[in-house]
Structure 1
Amino acid sequence: MQLLQTVTIKQVLTEKSKKELQHSYHQKKILLQKECDQLRFELKKLERTKKFSPASLKSHFEKEINNRKEKIKLIDFQMEQLNILPLGSEIKEQEVQAIINVAVGDDWEEISSEKMIIVKDGTIIEIR
Structure 2
Amino acid sequence: MKLIRTVIIKHIVTEEKKAALISEFETEIIQCERELEQLVFQLHKATKDIPNKHEQLTLRARYKEEIKKREERLQTISFKVQQLNKLELGSEIGVGTAESIVDIEVGDPWPDFEQKIEVIIKNGIVHEIRESRSEHDELV
Scaled by the length of structure 2, the TM-score of the pair is 0.83
Letter in 2 for 1:3: L
- Report percent identity of matched pairs: 34
Q: Is the contact between residue 121 and residue 128 of structure 2 (CA under 8 Å) also seen in structure 1?
A: yes
Alignment-derived partner of residue 38 in structure 1? 38
Q: Deviations over 1:68-94 (max 9, x none)?
A: 111111111111111111000001112
Q: Report how many residues are paired.
A: 128
Cα distance in 2 for partners of 1:24, 1:117 equals: 22
1:19 alignment partner AA: A
Q: Counterparts of 2:71 and 2:108 in 1: how far apart (Å)?
A: 50
User: What is the match of residue 96 of structure 1?
Assistant: 98
1:125 aligns with 2:127: yes
C-alpha RMSD over aligned residues: 1.7
Tell me the SS of whatever aligns to 1:71.
helix
Deviates more, 1:47-56 or 1:76-85: 47-56
Give the match for residue 11 of structure 1. 11
3-state DSSP class of the match of 1:6?
strand
Which digits, 9 at most, give the CA deviation of each residue in 1:2-43, with x for residues without a partner?
222221110000011111111111110111111011111111
Greater per-residue helix proportion: 1
- The answer for the alignment partner of 2:133 in structure 1 is none
> Which stretch shifts more, 60-69 or 49-58?
49-58
Deviations 1:103-126 (CA, angstroms, capped at 9, x unpaired): 444333544420111100101111
Please tell me whether the aligned partners of residues 5 and 113 of structure 2 are also in contact (alpha carbons under 8 angstroms). no
Runs (5+) with no aligned partner, structure 1: none
1:120 is aligned with what amino acid?
K
Secondary structure of the 1:116 match is strand
1:39-73 residue CA offsets vs partner (Å, 9 max, x unmatched): 11111111122187111111111111111111111
| TM-score (normalizing by structure 1) | 0.90
Deviates more, 1:106-115 or 1:14-23: 106-115
Counterpart amino acid of residue 115 in structure 1: I
Structure 2 residue matching 1:108: 3-state secondary structure: coil
